[in-house]
Amino acid sequence: MTTVEQHQDDTVKHGHRHEGPQKHVIVFIFSIILTAIAFASVMAGGVNVAFTVILLVVMAVLQALVQLGYWMHLKDKGHLMPIIFMCGGAFVAFTAIVTALYWVWW
């Protein structure tokens, strides 16, 4: 059995094709770029503080989504339940934070 036949046989058995390293390299470079943008915004110094904070939050959310989607394989089929539970957990955490802030400030 040749390597190509074995790969096709593995694809049929497991129901999905292995992506290979090219997407992982692209996502890794994208993560490095996001980190560099966040670092540069802080190191610039002359940038408005509010803009820097907003930019850091946006970069953190993008970075988290990239990490979850590609490194944790949540973009693949069959991962709907973990996604639903993580969204539910994020909703509960957000609600708890808003409630705590409301409770302390008012």
Query: What tens digit of pLDDT does each residue of 36-52 get?
Result: 988 998 898 888 889 88
- 25 vs 8, 20, 32, 42, CA distance in Å? 24, 10, 11, 26
Tell me how many domains the chain contains. Answer: 2
If asked whether residues 50 and 63 sit together in one domain, one would say yes
DSSP 8-state symbol, 106: -
* pLDDT over 90 at 14, yes or no: no
pLDDT score for 54: 92
If asked whether residues 83 and 62 sit together in one domain, one would say no
If asked whether residues 14 and 35 sit together in one domain, one would say yes
If asked whether residues 8 and 48 sit together in one domain, one would say yes
Q: Among residues of the chain, what percentage have pLDDT more than 70? A: 82
If asked whether residues 43 and 80 sit together in one domain, one would say no
Residues 77-83 have a mean pLDDT of 81
Nearest one of 16, 22, 27, 35 to 69, comparing CA atoms: 27
Domain residue limits at 63: 1-75
Average of per-residue pLDDT values in the chain: 82
The answer to whether the pTM exceeds 0.75 is no
If asked whether residues 86 and 51 sit together in one domain, one would say no
If asked whether residues 67 and 91 sit together in one domain, one would say no
Looking at residue 27, its amino acid is V
